[in-house]
């Protein structure tokens, strides 16, 4: 099986020895505002934003067999298999000229995390965790009315429960490695971004120095 992993690595980086991209995992419950903040980070710090959810939704829209399978799993509130999401993320990284990425909404669980690191041989630089109380996330989701199938109160609560059960072990894993940057996300957008900026600014200065 080693050769498959090697092939995947070569596919991701062009060559086996190519410089690995910088990856930052962005985690937060549904409605924590991470998508908005990612857009700000892209604009100010030149990252490419890859949303696992958007990639999965695009795959569903394509009408492929893979897309139908993903759609059924999401409807049932299940988590899509790691290899499906990792393949979509790999393809997106591979096809992009940038070398620094925000991966939003992934890894969803410990198995996702381990599979991503094993397949891509990339460990995130750090994890940006948007910490937001459930009531605030519910209020935002019900108010945003984006016409998403998964934005009704019952599904929101289910998604929040899945997030807590699945993603918290991932956050704890990286916390133990000193890699979690926790952002208090219940504040207004601009205030949240000031906190985010403080996390990224030292990085930008190091690059220029």
Check the annotation: does 68 bind a ligand. no
To the question of whether residue 2 is assigned a binding role by annotation, the answer is no
Residue 163's pLDDT is 83
Checking if the pLDDT of 70 tops 60, the result is yes
Average of pLDDT values for 78-104? 90
- Whether the pLDDT of residue 124 is over 50: the answer is yes
Out of 12-16, 86-90, 123-127, which region has the weakest mean confidence (pLDDT)? 12-16
Task: Pick the more confident residue, 17 or 33.
Answer: 33
Please report the pLDDT score of residue 200 as a whole number. Answer: 92
What is the band of 5 on the pLDDT scale with cuts at 50, 70, 90?
very low
Is residue 202 over pLDDT 80? no
Dist CA 166 CA 158 (whole Å): 12
pLDDT the model gives residue 8: 44
108 is in an annotated binding site: yes
Which pLDDT score, from 0 to 100, does residue 178 have? 96
DSSP output for 125-178: SEEEEEE--HHHHHHHHHHH----TT-SHHHHHHHHHHHHHHHHHHHHHHHHTT
Could you tell me which residue, 129 or 160, shows the higher pLDDT? 129
Residue 65's SS3 state is helix
pLDDT for residue 107: 92
Q: Give tens-digit pLDDT for 32-43.
A: 889 899 999 999
Dihedral sign from CA coordinates of 163, 148, 104, 73? positive
188 is in an annotated binding site: no
User: Is position 155 annotated in a ligand binding site?
Assistant: no
Q: Which helix (H) or strand (E) holds 102?
A: strand 100-104
78 is in an annotated binding site: yes
Residue 4 pLDDT: 43
79 is in an annotated binding site: yes
Query: What is the spatial distance between Cα 165 and Cα 152, in angstroms, rounded to a whole number?
Result: 20
Tell me whether residue 14 is annotated as binding: no
Strand pairing report for 48-51 and 22-28: unpaired
Confirm whether residue 148 is marked as ligand binding.
yes
Please give the average per-residue pLDDT across 71-82, as a whole number: 86
């Amino acid at each position: 099986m080693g050769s498959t992993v090697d092939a995947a690595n070569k596919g991701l980086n062009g060559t086996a020895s190519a410089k690995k991209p910088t990856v930052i995992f962005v985690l937060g419950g549904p409605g924590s505002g991470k998508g908005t903040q990612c857009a700000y980070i892209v604009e100010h710090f030149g990252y490419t934003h890859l949303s696992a959810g958007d990639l999965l939704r695009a795959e569903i829209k394509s009408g492929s067999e893979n897309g139908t399978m993903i759609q059924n799993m999401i409807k049932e509130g299940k988590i899509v298999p790691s290899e499906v999401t990792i393949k979509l993320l790999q393809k997106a990284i591979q096809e992009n000229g940038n070398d620094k990425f925000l991966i939003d909404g992934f890894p969803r669980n410990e198995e996702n995390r381990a599979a991503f690191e094993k397949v891509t041989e990339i460990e995130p630089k750090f994890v940006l965790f948007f910490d937001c109380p459930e009531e605030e996330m519910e209020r935002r989701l019900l108010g945003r009315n984006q016409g998403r199938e998964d934005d009704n109160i019952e599904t929101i609560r289910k998604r929040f429960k899945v997030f807590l059960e699945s993603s918290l072990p991932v956050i704890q894993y990286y916390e133990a490695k000193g890699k979690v940057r926790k952002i208090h996300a219940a504040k207004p957008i601009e205030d949240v971004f000031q906190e985010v900026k403080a996390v990224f600014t030292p990085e930008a200065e190091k690059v220029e120095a």
